Amino acid sequence: MLTQENLKKIEALKIQFPDTKSLTIPALHIAQSQYGWISEETMKEAAHVLNVPESHVIGVATFYTMFNKKPVGKYHIQVCTNVSCQLLGAEKISEYICKKLNIKVGETTADKIFTISEVECLGSCGTAPMMQVNNDYHENLTTEKIDKLLQELK
Protein backbone atom coordinates (compact mmCIF):
# COMPACT_ATOMS: atom_id res chain seq x y z
CA MET A 1 0.00 0.00 0.00
CA LEU A 2 1.15 3.50 -0.77
CA THR A 3 1.97 5.39 2.42
CA GLN A 4 -0.29 8.22 3.59
CA GLU A 5 2.56 10.61 2.86
CA ASN A 6 2.85 9.42 -0.73
CA LEU A 7 -0.91 9.53 -1.24
CA LYS A 8 -0.80 13.13 -0.04
CA LYS A 9 2.00 13.86 -2.50
CA ILE A 10 -0.17 12.56 -5.33
CA GLU A 11 -3.17 14.50 -4.07
CA ALA A 12 -1.11 17.70 -3.93
CA LEU A 13 -0.24 17.41 -7.62
CA LYS A 14 -3.90 17.42 -8.70
CA ILE A 15 -4.00 21.22 -8.75
CA GLN A 16 -1.48 21.23 -11.63
CA PHE A 17 -3.70 19.52 -14.20
CA PRO A 18 -7.29 19.74 -15.44
CA ASP A 19 -7.48 15.94 -15.56
CA THR A 20 -6.28 13.32 -13.04
CA LYS A 21 -5.09 11.05 -15.87
CA SER A 22 -2.09 13.41 -16.10
CA LEU A 23 -1.02 12.11 -12.71
CA THR A 24 -0.27 8.66 -14.13
CA ILE A 25 3.44 9.25 -14.66
CA PRO A 26 3.97 11.34 -11.49
CA ALA A 27 2.09 8.74 -9.42
CA LEU A 28 4.19 5.90 -10.84
CA HIS A 29 7.35 7.87 -10.00
CA ILE A 30 6.11 8.27 -6.42
CA ALA A 31 5.15 4.60 -6.23
CA GLN A 32 8.55 3.52 -7.52
CA SER A 33 10.29 5.69 -4.94
CA GLN A 34 8.44 3.71 -2.29
CA TYR A 35 8.56 0.17 -3.70
CA GLY A 36 11.72 0.36 -5.82
CA TRP A 37 9.87 -1.07 -8.79
CA ILE A 38 6.42 -1.18 -10.38
CA SER A 39 4.65 -4.51 -9.97
CA GLU A 40 1.33 -5.31 -11.59
CA GLU A 41 -0.17 -4.90 -8.11
CA THR A 42 1.25 -1.37 -7.96
CA MET A 43 -0.17 -0.54 -11.38
CA LYS A 44 -3.60 -1.64 -10.16
CA GLU A 45 -3.17 0.36 -6.99
CA ALA A 46 -2.23 3.47 -8.95
CA ALA A 47 -5.25 2.99 -11.21
CA HIS A 48 -7.47 2.80 -8.15
CA VAL A 49 -5.95 5.90 -6.56
CA LEU A 50 -6.30 7.93 -9.77
CA ASN A 51 -9.63 6.45 -10.75
CA VAL A 52 -8.43 5.51 -14.23
CA PRO A 53 -8.62 2.09 -15.95
CA GLU A 54 -5.99 -0.46 -14.93
CA SER A 55 -5.24 -1.09 -18.60
CA HIS A 56 -4.30 2.56 -18.98
CA VAL A 57 -1.76 2.46 -16.15
CA ILE A 58 -0.31 -0.83 -17.41
CA GLY A 59 0.03 0.70 -20.89
CA VAL A 60 1.87 3.71 -19.53
CA ALA A 61 4.07 1.87 -17.04
CA THR A 62 5.29 -0.54 -19.71
CA PHE A 63 5.99 2.25 -22.22
CA TYR A 64 8.46 4.23 -20.12
CA THR A 65 11.83 2.63 -19.41
CA MET A 66 12.43 4.40 -16.11
CA PHE A 67 9.75 2.28 -14.49
CA ASN A 68 11.35 -0.98 -13.38
CA LYS A 69 9.01 -3.83 -14.23
CA LYS A 70 10.94 -6.23 -12.02
CA PRO A 71 12.60 -5.72 -8.66
CA VAL A 72 16.02 -4.09 -8.58
CA GLY A 73 18.71 -4.08 -5.92
CA LYS A 74 19.23 -1.38 -3.33
CA TYR A 75 21.50 0.33 -5.85
CA HIS A 76 20.46 0.35 -9.47
CA ILE A 77 23.53 0.92 -11.59
CA GLN A 78 22.66 2.17 -15.06
CA VAL A 79 25.58 2.43 -17.44
CA CYS A 80 25.11 4.67 -20.47
CA THR A 81 26.34 2.85 -23.56
CA ASN A 82 25.21 5.31 -26.21
CA VAL A 83 27.62 6.78 -28.75
CA SER A 84 29.54 9.42 -26.78
CA CYS A 85 30.07 6.97 -23.92
CA GLN A 86 30.71 4.08 -26.32
CA LEU A 87 33.55 6.06 -27.93
CA LEU A 88 35.19 6.42 -24.53
CA GLY A 89 34.89 2.82 -23.41
CA ALA A 90 31.42 2.35 -21.94
CA GLU A 91 31.45 -1.30 -22.96
CA LYS A 92 34.52 -1.92 -20.81
CA ILE A 93 32.97 -0.03 -17.90
CA SER A 94 29.92 -2.25 -18.05
CA GLU A 95 32.04 -5.41 -18.36
CA TYR A 96 34.21 -4.33 -15.47
CA ILE A 97 31.26 -3.81 -13.13
CA CYS A 98 29.65 -7.09 -14.20
CA LYS A 99 32.88 -8.95 -13.49
CA LYS A 100 33.33 -7.24 -10.18
CA LEU A 101 29.80 -7.99 -9.03
CA ASN A 102 29.77 -11.36 -10.74
CA ILE A 103 26.47 -10.72 -12.51
CA LYS A 104 25.36 -10.14 -16.08
CA VAL A 105 23.67 -7.01 -17.46
CA GLY A 106 20.07 -6.98 -16.25
CA GLU A 107 20.81 -9.11 -13.18
CA THR A 108 20.82 -8.42 -9.45
CA THR A 109 23.43 -9.64 -6.97
CA ALA A 110 22.34 -12.46 -4.64
CA ASP A 111 22.43 -10.09 -1.64
CA LYS A 112 20.04 -7.79 -3.55
CA ILE A 113 22.41 -4.84 -3.18
CA PHE A 114 23.25 -4.16 -6.84
CA THR A 115 21.45 -4.37 -10.17
CA ILE A 116 23.23 -3.45 -13.37
CA SER A 117 21.53 -2.23 -16.54
CA GLU A 118 22.79 -0.74 -19.77
CA VAL A 119 20.78 2.32 -20.76
CA GLU A 120 20.42 4.90 -23.49
CA CYS A 121 21.93 8.40 -23.48
CA LEU A 122 21.56 10.11 -20.09
CA GLY A 123 22.54 13.57 -21.35
CA SER A 124 25.99 13.53 -19.85
CA CYS A 125 28.04 13.16 -23.04
CA GLY A 126 30.67 15.75 -22.11
CA THR A 127 31.63 13.75 -19.04
CA ALA A 128 31.63 10.30 -20.64
CA PRO A 129 31.84 7.51 -19.77
CA MET A 130 29.18 7.79 -17.11
CA MET A 131 26.56 5.91 -15.17
CA GLN A 132 23.64 6.63 -12.92
CA VAL A 133 23.29 4.95 -9.52
CA ASN A 134 19.78 5.50 -8.20
CA ASN A 135 19.33 9.27 -8.58
CA ASP A 136 22.98 10.23 -8.83
CA TYR A 137 25.17 10.71 -11.89
CA HIS A 138 28.75 9.43 -11.74
CA GLU A 139 30.79 10.93 -14.52
CA ASN A 140 34.24 10.63 -16.14
CA LEU A 141 34.39 7.03 -14.93
CA THR A 142 37.59 5.09 -14.44
CA THR A 143 38.02 1.63 -12.92
CA GLU A 144 39.50 3.28 -9.81
CA LYS A 145 36.42 5.46 -9.43
CA ILE A 146 34.16 2.44 -9.79
CA ASP A 147 36.15 0.46 -7.21
CA LYS A 148 35.88 3.32 -4.75
CA LEU A 149 32.17 3.86 -5.34
CA LEU A 150 31.20 0.20 -5.06
CA GLN A 151 33.23 -0.04 -1.86
CA GLU A 152 31.43 2.96 -0.40
CA LEU A 153 28.00 1.69 -1.36
CA LYS A 154 28.49 -1.73 0.19
* Residues of the shown chain interacting with another protein in the complex, contacts defined by CB under 8 A: 16-19, 21-26, 28-29, 52, 56, 59-60, 63-67, 81-84, 86-88, 119-128, 132, 135-137
Task: Give the shortest CB-110-to-another protein separation in angstroms.
Answer: 27
Task: Give the shortest CB-85-to-another protein separation in angstroms.
Answer: 9
Q: Nearer Cβ to another protein, position 35 or 137?
A: 137
Q: Nearer Cβ to another protein, position 42 or 81?
A: 81
118: left (phi over 0), alpha (psi -120 to 50) or beta: beta
Task: Give the shortest CB-47-to-another protein separation in angstroms.
Answer: 11
Q: Nearer Cβ to another protein, position 100 or 133?
A: 133
Q: Measured between alpha carbons, how far is residue 107 from residues 55, 80, 127 in Å?
A: 28, 16, 26
Is the distance from CB of 61 to CB of 40 less than 8 angstroms? no
Q: Measured between alpha carbons, how far is residue 35 from residues 58, 94, 112 in Å?
A: 16, 26, 14
- 3-state class (DSSP) for residue 146: helix
Is the distance from CB of 97 to CB of 90 less than 8 angstroms? no
Q: Nearer Cβ to another protein, position 88 or 150?
A: 88
Task: Give the shortest CB-103-to-another protein separation in angstroms.
Answer: 22
